[in-house]
Amino acid sequence: MAELQSGRRSQKRFEKLKAWQAAQALAVAVYRATSKWPIDERYGMVSQARRAAVSVSANIAEGSAKQGNREFRRYLDIANGSLAEIQVYLLLAKELGYLSPSEWGELEAMRDHTGMLTWGLYKAVKGA
């Protein structure tokens, strides 16, 4: 988690945040999974799922660069919203047969883990 000093975040790089690391791994997994989805979904669900996945890690990174914890929390809130969006796409993909139950389970576990870390970071930043 981000280290906080005297009400300000230290100059720790976002890549060291566990929430960002999990979000980045999730984005890579979503990209790999969606590469197998039907070609006619390229501009539909594939695009939307990928954008949402990248949004999580991008918002954690961008928020960590902002001045003040309030701004950082705002970006973490957006990241959490993107995680909910990913959940919708993964559920739909499972129901449509684009993901096997085991593939869905792995991605959902990654999404859930990323959400727990992002929420934990949000609470840590809020308490600082």
How far apart are alpha carbons 107 and 97 in whole angstroms? 15
For residue 3, being part of any structural domain is answered with no
By residue range, what is the domain housing residue 79? Answer: 12-127
What is the number of structural domains in the chain?
Answer: 1
Please answer whether residues 69 and 9 qualify as being in contact, where contact means their C-beta atoms are separated by less than 8 angstroms.
yes
Identify the CATH number of the domain in which residue 21 sits.
1.20.1440.60
Per the domain annotation, does 4 fall within a domain?
no
- Give Cβ neighbours of residue 55 (< 8 Å, ≥ 6 apart): 78, 79, 82, 85
Say if pTM beats, i.e. exceeds, 0.85. Answer: yes
Is 6 inside any structural domain? no
Structural domain contains residue 63: yes
With beta carbons less than 8 A apart as the criterion, state whether 86 and 52 touch. yes
Per-residue confidence in pLDDT tens, the chain, 128 aa: 444 444 454 445 899 999 999 999 999 999 999 999 999 999 999 999 999 999 999 999 999 998 889 999 999 999 999 999 999 999 999 999 999 999 999 999 999 999 999 999 999 998 76
